[in-house]
A and B are shown apart, each in its own frame.
Chain A
Amino acid sequence: MLSNIGNALLFSNILLGISIIYFSFENLRNKEQRVSKKIYRLSLLQSTLIIICFFNLIAAFITSDFSIISVYQNSHSLKPFFYKVSGTWGNHEGSLLLWVIILTIFSFLFLIYNKSHPKNYRVYTLIVQNILILGFLFFILFNSNPFGVILPTPSEGLGLNPILQDPALAIHPPLLYVGFVGSSIYFSAAIASLITDYSDKLFAQSIKNWVLISWSFQTLGILTGSIWAYYELGWGGFWFWDPVENASLLPWFAMTALVHSLIALEKRKFLYFWVIILCLLTFILSVTGTFLVRSGILNSVHTFANDPSRGAYILIFLSLMIFASVLLFFKKFKTSNYNLNANSKETFILINNWFMIFYLITVLLGTIYPIFTEVLTDNKVSVGPPYYNTVIIPVVIFFLFFMAVGPQTKWIKNKFSNLNLLIKILFGAILINFVIIYLSKSYSLISNFIIISSIFLILSSLNDLYKTIKQRKIDLSRIISHSGFGFLILFIGLNYNFSLEKDLNLKVGEARKFENYLLEFKNLQLKDFKNYKAVVGEFKIKNLKENLELTLNPEIRIYESPNTITYEASIRTGILKDYYLTMSNIDRSEYYNIKFQKKPFMLWIWISVIFISLGGFLRLFKNEKNY
């Protein structure tokens, strides 16, 4: 039943997509200055139907309708309600439906929120967006149908992979998708802008809020993925340079560059073609990421089944997208002359973009390099954290300095009137760095620079805040995002330098002392839960210096559907530091392998990222108010 409804809805959405394209072309031909009512109604219907279609799939997951393959493969009747719902998008087919929903809703919202812009530009955007929607709808219907039926109906489902049963991961895909699928709308708008020659300031205004929305959500999506990895994977880190993490980071770099260059386009009619490139690139990178993850040519923590036909479809779609946009771009490209002064805000925005492109190329190379070497030389290589850390970290130092100075410069021609102040701030930053070294322990030269530069950025952002409050011209959004980034780098630096990690083998009743800590293995219990059994350890940790005592309970969970063992870290989150404990059994032995970690400022790393994205949201509200 639900399967038939779902298929019917998908099919009607294909028809709607085709008719929107048809009526759009008709609308382009007539002389009417407005977009016809018919198109509005069809778009509204299209969005409504796809949302109903998605709720239909959610209903199938909630009612455990195992006649539907994707429910059978990813759900189980004993699963908690929350994870039944989140299981809807925790798999390949369901998540593709989420893709299409975001494509469709953004298409509709862009149409109704840009009424002040010319008809042709809006209608062409709608056409391109609907071509994208159709591409994905066909993919869903003929290759990855979430409503596929399995006969005879199984009595029980296979269950959702236990490591996906986590609150952070339940909201991770929707957030991330609003981010990178949302970037489709400015891909379409960029194509429309090239076709209709609608450029510069007005074009920038029509897309800037969409860029901000996708950027802010992308930031939060990356954050939740990172939090999940920290809690669930049991490695104690929060960023692993895993190909899939990189796939979400690549469009983020492009978006960040876009957020900045759009300002230059809006204020100075500068960088139009570069903005177009970034618009196209962001979505192309998003689809490339989807291709890399879904085709299975990269192995990573995302366990989508390997199916070359999926990869082939996305790749053909991607190639068409790239060739169409590259050819159109070359056809329309004109060199423009802009009198650029080396000391001006324009230059600093360009510098931001160079850095972003540098990060982008670095991460892109690291991600796809193994694929290339394997095809070209039949050599399996793996590119890991050392590559990224050595290439990126030194560059971040310079980036932070530019990021601190850039916002205070003036358009067209700048004079450094505040050089004195900057030097004072720099000395302040160096001083704070030495205080940190004095209070704790010394660290490497490069860490010194990282901490000095991040404090420099934070202090100059705060100084900005003070100045703008005095002048009553507060630009809170930028200050929050920039200082959030400064704090992020600062806390990552401190976390990296002051983490403590200890590996031990212990059995019940044993205790071990290291540094200032005493770790005691008190007890071991077997517990039964609704959908799993767990071996729960009881550990007591004493900090001998601070008179602190706490109990941690790491678990080994045995899930039955599907049959999986997971190792659950026990984490005590504190304001200043986290204690992180994992245990794993050792074969044929009563000893357990215990990994103890002290991770300072973890909470602040997450909060910093929230602040970065908060800046984006604030700017969005400010833009809305100004309209």
Chain B
Amino acid sequence: MKKIIKLFVLILVIFIIGIFFISLNNSTRYDTKGLVGQKIKKISLDYFSENKKFTEVDLKKNNYTLINFWASWCGPCRDEHIFLLKLSKEKNLKLLGVNFKDKKNNALKFLNDLGNPYDNLTKDELGKQSVNFGIYGIPESILIDKELVILKKFTGPISEKDFRNIKSIIKK
């Protein structure tokens, strides 16, 4: 009897610790990788300066759209800006900027200093709209096609590699 109890306790402990070990590598954090391949449904974003809404209808006009979430207070946004400027010269691609939780004057100064790559500029002052795109930190960018299918999601600043990647996708 004593042996059975010992064995039972040991097995139980090993079982619990084993489960803990497995779940350590199972991240339970909210993950938006699953968004790739899905379609963007309804969106409605305020234009940065005009009192108009940018909706999914506007997105359908473009062959490809890169939706870029940025803010003047975000350091890495400055790093990726040079690639956004280069991408803005691509004919097949339109850039939609979403100014995230920012102050208007700071944002304008940012664009004045570094250049404005965006074909359309909208704002999300409270950061609530961006949640619908699965954004939890900026900069983040989403590449979508004419059918509004998400082709790629870039978390963090767009790098040289991402830049080339985007170029090769929109050439197709």
Q: Which residues in A have some Cβ–Cβ distance to B below 8 Å?
A: 291, 295-299, 306, 308, 311-312, 315, 318-319, 322-323, 326, 330, 368, 371-372, 374-376, 560, 563, 565, 585, 587
A587 contacts B22, C-beta separation under 8 Å: no
A315 contacts B73, C-beta separation under 8 Å: no
A319-B17, A560-B73 known; 6 new pairs, CB 8 Å cut-off, are A297-B23, A299-B28, A371-B19, A374-B28, A565-B126, A587-B128
B29 contacts A308, C-beta separation under 8 Å: no
Residues from chain B with Cβ under 8 Å of A560 in the complex: 73
Complex A-B: 28 CB contacts under 8 Å:
A297-B20, A297-B23, A297-B28, A298-B28, A299-B28, A299-B29, A306-B29, A311-B20, A311-B24, A315-B17, A315-B20, A315-B21, A315-B24, A322-B13, A326-B9, A326-B13, A330-B6, A368-B16, A368-B19, A371-B19, A371-B20, A372-B19, A374-B23, A374-B28, A376-B19, A560-B73, A563-B101, A587-B126
A295 contacts B24, C-beta separation under 8 Å: yes
Q: How far is the CA of A371 from the CA of B27 in the complex (A)?
A: 11
Q: How far is the CA of A326 from the CA of B14 in the complex (A)?
A: 12
| Category for how many chain B residues contact A | 20 to 34
Give the tally of cross-chain contacts (CB within 8 A).
56
* Shortest Cβ distance from residue A27 to the other chain B in the assembled complex, whole angstroms: 33
A318 closest partner in B (C-beta)? B17
Q: Mark B21-35, 1 if CB is under 8 A from A, else 0.
A: 111111111000000
* Shortest Cβ distance from residue A288 to the other chain B in the assembled complex, whole angstroms: 9
Shortest Cβ-Cβ A-B pairs, 4 listed: A311-B24, A297-B23, A375-B22, A371-B23
Is the CB of B10 closer than 8 A to any CB of chain A? yes
| A585-B126 in contact given A319-B17, A326-B9, A372-B19 (Cβ < 8 Å) | yes
B103 closest partner in A (C-beta)? A560
Most chain B CB within 10 A, of A295, A318, A319, is at A319
Residues from chain A with Cβ under 8 Å of B128 in the complex: 587
A311 closest partner in B (C-beta)? B24
Q: How far is the CA of A298 from the CA of B26 in the complex (A)?
A: 11
A375 contacts B19, C-beta separation under 8 Å: yes
Q: How far is the CA of A330 from the CA of B4 in the complex (A)?
A: 12
* Shortest Cβ distance from residue B142 to the other chain A in the assembled complex, whole angstroms: 21
B5 closest partner in A (C-beta)? A330
* Shortest Cβ distance from residue A142 to the other chain B in the assembled complex, whole angstroms: 18
Q: How far is the CA of A441 from the CA of B19 in the complex (A)?
A: 48
* Shortest Cβ distance from residue B171 to the other chain A in the assembled complex, whole angstroms: 37
Which of A323, A368, A374, A563 contacts B26 (CB under 8 A)?
A374
* Shortest Cβ distance from residue A298 to the other chain B in the assembled complex, whole angstroms: 8
* Shortest Cβ distance from residue B51 to the other chain A in the assembled complex, whole angstroms: 11
Residues from chain A with Cβ under 8 Å of B73 in the complex: 560, 563
Residues from chain B with Cβ under 8 Å of A297 in the complex: 20, 23-24, 26, 28
Residues from chain A with Cβ under 8 Å of B6 in the complex: 330
Q: Mark B69-102, 1 if CB is under 8 A from A, else 0.
A: 0000100000000000000000000000000010
A308 contacts B126, C-beta separation under 8 Å: no
A327 closest partner in B (C-beta)? B10
B100 closest partner in A (C-beta)? A563
Q: Mark B53-80, 1 if CB is under 8 A from A, else 0.
A: 0000000000000000000010000000
A322 contacts B17, C-beta separation under 8 Å: yes
Residues from chain A with Cβ under 8 Å of B26 in the complex: 297, 374-375
Q: How far is the CA of A308 from the CA of B27 in the complex (A)?
A: 9
Residues from chain A with Cβ under 8 Å of B29 in the complex: 296, 299, 306
Most chain B CB within 10 A, of A291, A297, A298, A560, is at A297
Q: How far is the CA of A577 from the CA of B115 in the complex (A)?
A: 58
A312 contacts B17, C-beta separation under 8 Å: no
Which of A306, A318, A376, A565 contacts B27 (CB under 8 A)?
A306
Q: How far is the CA of A330 from the CA of B16 in the complex (A)?
A: 19
A371 closest partner in B (C-beta)? B23
Q: How far is the CA of A243 from the CA of B16 in the complex (A)?
A: 17
* Shortest Cβ distance from residue B131 to the other chain A in the assembled complex, whole angstroms: 11
Residues from chain A with Cβ under 8 Å of B17 in the complex: 315, 318-319, 322
B28 contacts A312, C-beta separation under 8 Å: no
* Shortest Cβ distance from residue B103 to the other chain A in the assembled complex, whole angstroms: 10
B10 closest partner in A (C-beta)? A326
A284 closest partner in B (C-beta)? B13
Most chain B CB within 10 A, of A311, A563, A565, is at A563
B23 contacts A375, C-beta separation under 8 Å: yes
B53 closest partner in A (C-beta)? A588
* Shortest Cβ distance from residue B17 to the other chain A in the assembled complex, whole angstroms: 5
Residues from chain A with Cβ under 8 Å of B21 in the complex: 312, 315
Q: How far is the CA of A330 from the CA of B2 in the complex (A)?
A: 9
Which of B13, B19, B25 contacts A308 (CB under 8 A)?
B25
